[in-house]
Amino acid sequence: MRNSEGRIESLDGLRAVSITLVIFSHLIGVKGFIVPERVGRVFELGELGVRVFFVISGFLITSILLKELEDHRTINLRRFYFRRTLRIFPPYYLFILSIVIIQAAGLISLNQGDLPHALTYTSNYHLQRSWYVGHTWSLAVEEQFYVVWPAVLILFGKRRGLLAALAFVLIAPLIRIGIWEALPGVRAGIGQTFETAGDALAIGCVLAGVRSRLHASQLYLRLLDSKLILFAPLAVLLGNALHNHPTVHYLFGYSLMNVGIALSIDWCVTYSRGRVGKFLNCRPVVFIGLMSYSIYLWQQIFVDRYSQSLLAQFPINLGMIAVTSLLSYYICEQPSFKLRKWLERRLFPRPKSASFEFIDASTATVSPRPAMPNSPI
């Protein structure tokens, strides 16, 4: 299940798929891009890509936290937030600083409230965002998850914490439909505010918590090993296609996508050496997955379909996304990662008796069960 670098196989590939969906969705309508806009009316692929990111995040973060809770009966919140801060903040605030400079140069225009909300990770509650910080809503949801979820596990413990996550998965559709029916003034925030979008993260949390039990079930393993598992990605596409029918989408579509994505992630991790797994784990795809955070941050500037700038036209905009993402990754992400490792060894020395190393999210061990060498797909 883990490769020679200790990373969980297939997850970086799934991140690559997610960011590809986001960029493809944003390219629709851009000058020079030949895919007709009606494709975007059928499938909301950008939303789907973000939702996959959410489920992966819930799965990985919970895997780490539960392992620490099991080994030490507590969670070191200082270390957790230290690691999250140096992983997320440097590239993010570099992007925000760049946006401020570009605006000062008169090249773009931001809306009132954009910067305060972007700086404080509350953009998902600022619905009048300009395009250039429009994508920061999803990063705000993730940050709010990082604040809430570790505290839930500490206060309630593993079992009750996971039950709380499951309860949120079940309640969130009712929250969405309740807002749609009773609060038309804030309908635009459905799917972006934490209470209407966080169930995607919660289903990842539940998967991390029950995966070992699921893999102890012969019935579940037979399902995972059969072609019936193809219904999982099909369910994801079906749920996504319901976005033009708000009532059904908010009540059933989101949940259908969440469950289908969780099952698909489990299948991809378990069968990481099958044909799909070989694609997800090939070097170019993994590299895109590793860069997905920087790509997600910077793509927004170059895929504005209403911009007349040459830099926003296809395929020049893809080149600009590649250049800015590579710069962000090598100049900001990688140095901050090395700094984090250096500081962590000094600020949080690992006890000699500890059996768990608080490694990066993508290197957490999530199941003692080895990956299966073959798959039906």
Q: Which residue in the block uniquely carries the two structure tokens 């962590």? A: 344
Residue 349's pLDDT band (cuts 50, 70, 90): confident
Higher pLDDT, 125 or 348: 125
In the predicted structure, residue 365 carries a pLDDT above the cut 50: no
In the predicted structure, residue 364 carries a pLDDT above the cut 70: no
Numbers of helices and strands, H then E, in the chain: 17, 0
Q: What mean pLDDT comes out for the span 292-314? A: 94
Domain ranges across the chain: 58-291+321-363
Which burial class, exposed, middle or buried, applies to 119 when counting CB atoms under 10 A from its CB (0-12, 13-18, 19+)? Answer: middle
* 8 backbone dihedrals φ, ψ, rounded to 5°: -70, 125
State how far Cα 246 lies from the chain centre.
23
Amino acid found at 146: Y
**Half-sphere exposure for 78 (CA within 13 Å, toward CB):** 5
CA distance 17 to 279: 11
Q: What mean pLDDT comes out for the span 39-52? A: 87
In the predicted structure, residue 69 carries a pLDDT above the cut 50: yes
Q: For residue range 150-208, list pLDDT tens digits in order.
A: 999 999 999 999 999 999 999 999 999 999 999 999 999 999 999 999 999 999 999 99
Q: What is the pLDDT of residue 77?
A: 93
Nearest to 142 by CA among 14, 50, 54, 261: 54
DSSP state of 48: H
Residue 6's pLDDT band (cuts 50, 70, 90): low
Q: What is the pLDDT of residue 39?
A: 72
Q: For residue range 88-144, list pLDDT tens digits in order.
A: 999 999 999 999 999 999 999 999 999 999 999 999 999 999 999 999 999 999 999
CA distance 145 to 196: 13
Query: Which of 298-302, 329-333, 347-351 is predicted with the least confidence, judged by mean pLDDT?
Result: 347-351
CA distance 168 to 176: 12
Residue 373's pLDDT band (cuts 50, 70, 90): very low
Amino acid found at 371: A
As beta bridge partners, residue 8 has: 2
State how far Cα 333 lies from the chain centre.
17
Q: What is the pLDDT of residue 317?
A: 96
Q: For residue range 320-334, list pLDDT tens digits in order.
A: 999 999 999 999 999
